[in-house]
């Protein structure tokens, strides 16, 4: 991981989940847009999303501001498990 927004997201998410070792943050850069994907265990997903989506919304705002300081656009996604 090399971008500042991705490092920020990883820092915050690992501190709010119960099992920080199981958090995976990946980033891809396609057509000038940085995409950050966060994979957390199912039991911690609610903590990352927050009540009414407040936590994830705040993470997105701060990460976008950080990306904007580096003249980039970004998207932050939480990876959902595949359903059978």
Q: What is the CATH number of the domain that holds 49?
A: 3.30.300.20
Torsion of the alpha carbons at 76, 80, 54 and 32, rounded to the nearest 10 = 10
- pLDDT band for 84, please (50, 70, 90 cuts): low
Under 8 Å between Cβ of 61 and 68: no
**Helical spans, DSSP H, in the chain:** 4-16, 45-49, 54-69
In a domain, 83, yes or no: no
In a domain, 67, yes or no: yes
Mean pLDDT computed over every residue of the chain: 89
In a domain, 54, yes or no: yes
Give residue 65's Cα distance to chain centre.
14
Residue 5: both structure tokens together: 């927004």
- According to DSSP, the residues that pair with 76 across neighbouring strands are 36
Per-residue confidence (pLDDT) for residue 81, from 0 to 100: 74
In a domain, 73, yes or no: yes
Residue 15's domain spans which residues?
4-78
pTM of the model: 0.85
How many folded domains does the chain comprise?
Answer: 1
Q: Could you read off the pLDDT of 23-64 as tens digits, one per residue?
A: 999 999 888 889 999 999 989 999 999 999 999 999 999 999
Per-residue confidence (pLDDT) for residue 49, from 0 to 100: 93
């Amino acid at each position: 991981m090399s971008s500042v927004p991705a490092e920020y997201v990883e820092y915050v998410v690992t501190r709010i989940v119960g099992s920080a070792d199981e958090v995976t943050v990946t980033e891809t850069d396609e057509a000038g847009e940085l995409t950050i994907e966060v994979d957390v265990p199912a039991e911690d997903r609610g903590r990352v999303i927050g009540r009414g989506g407040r936590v994830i919304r705040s993470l997105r705002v701060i990460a976008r501001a950080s990306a904007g300081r580096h003249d980039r656009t970004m998207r932050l996604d939480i990876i959902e498990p595949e359903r059978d």
